[in-house]
Amino acid sequence: MNIKIAASAAALAVAVAGGCRRDEVTHYRVPKERAGADLTPAAVAAPPPGMAGDVPAPPPPSGQARLTWTLPAGWSQSLTGGMRYATLKTPVPGKLDVSVVVLPGPAGGELANVNRWRNQIGLPPLDAAAMAKERKTLATKAGPLAVYDFTSEGQQKSRVVAALAEAGGSTWFLKMAGDEKPVATARAEFIRMLESVHLE
């Protein structure tokens, strides 16, 4: 009987150990995935199996209302033409991401997008009145651009400088985000680029 009890206890312990193991938070440190670097173009375009795009990406902006700008010296860009319309590279070292995103329609509205940017760096949401105080308006050939500049709290600060404009039924988001220092370094050139925005 003792053998049976011991065997049952061992089986239970193994089962419990197995069950617990499957419920833990796992951690892996892995090399960055090279998005599509190894793939044929067709393979990159297709969604992964079983994950067919149920939330389709919006269509690229129509040719009539394409926003364009003058790149600052030393900057480069790649136009992808999708929801993330362009990715810009600056010569400034450090963590910095500059992008142009275009979405159809009002894309949730100005307040929702401003609060989304603030949320991304851990700042509390604003109401419409507070947002209006934060807004700087730039006059461009494509019309007025609403520009916002937010810096996070904490020891290692993040900063977002972003602008949005409506053109041809789409909303354009021109955004620079990253660590506070590189954003501050590139800010003047980014603002000059925003001032150069015009319709093509």
Partner 1 sequence: MNSPALAKTVAMKLLDLITSLKLTIVCLAALMVLVVACTLAQVNLGMYAAVNQYIRSFVVWAEVPGTGWSVAVFPGGALVGLVLTANIVAAQLRRLELSWKKAGLWIVHAGLILLFIGEFGTSLFQVESRLAIEQGQTLSYVERQRGLELAVIDVTDPAHDDVYGVPESRLARGGDVAVTGTPITLRVKGWYQNADLVNRGPADPPSPATAGVGVGVAVREMPPVTSDDDMNRSAAYVEPVAGGRSYGTWLVSNVLGAPQSFIHEGRTYQLQLRQQRQYLPYAITLKKFSHDVYPGTDIPKNFSSLVHLSNPGRGEERDVLIYMNQPLRYDGKAFYQASFGKGDTLSILQVVDNPGWLLPYISCVLVAAGLVVHFGISLQRSMRRRSAAASVQGTLTS
Residues that bind partner 1 (CB under 8 A): 1, 4, 11, 14-15, 18, 22-33, 38-40, 42-43, 46-51, 53-55, 95, 108, 112, 115-116, 119-122, 125, 152-158, 177, 179
Considering beta carbons, is residue 95 or 198 the nearer one to partner 1? 95
Considering beta carbons, is residue 74 or 108 the nearer one to partner 1? 108
Between CA 191 and CA 159 the distance in angstroms is 14
Considering beta carbons, is residue 31 or 63 the nearer one to partner 1? 31
Considering beta carbons, is residue 58 or 143 the nearer one to partner 1? 58
Q: How far is the CB of 81 from partner 1 (least distance, A)?
A: 16
| Burial category of 186 from C-beta neighbours within 10 Å (exposed 0-12, middle 13-18, buried 19 and up) | buried
Other residues' Cβ atoms within 10 Å of the Cβ of residue 157:
14
Between CA 117 and CA 147 the distance in angstroms is 12
Encoded tokens for 148: 């916002």
Between CA 138 and CA 128 the distance in angstroms is 19
Q: How far is the CB of 172 from partner 1 (least distance, A)?
A: 18
Q: Which residues contact 143 (CB under 8 A, 6 or more apart)?
A: 165, 166, 167
Considering beta carbons, is residue 57 or 141 the nearer one to partner 1? 57
Considering beta carbons, is residue 41 or 63 the nearer one to partner 1? 41
Encoded tokens for 77: 């860009």
Q: How far is the CB of 67 from partner 1 (least distance, A)?
A: 22
Between CA 120 and CA 124 the distance in angstroms is 10
Which one-letter DSSP state was computed for residue 24? S
Q: How far is the CB of 154 from partner 1 (least distance, A)?
A: 5
Q: How far is the CB of 106 from partner 1 (least distance, A)?
A: 11
Q: How far is the CB of 140 from partner 1 (least distance, A)?
A: 28
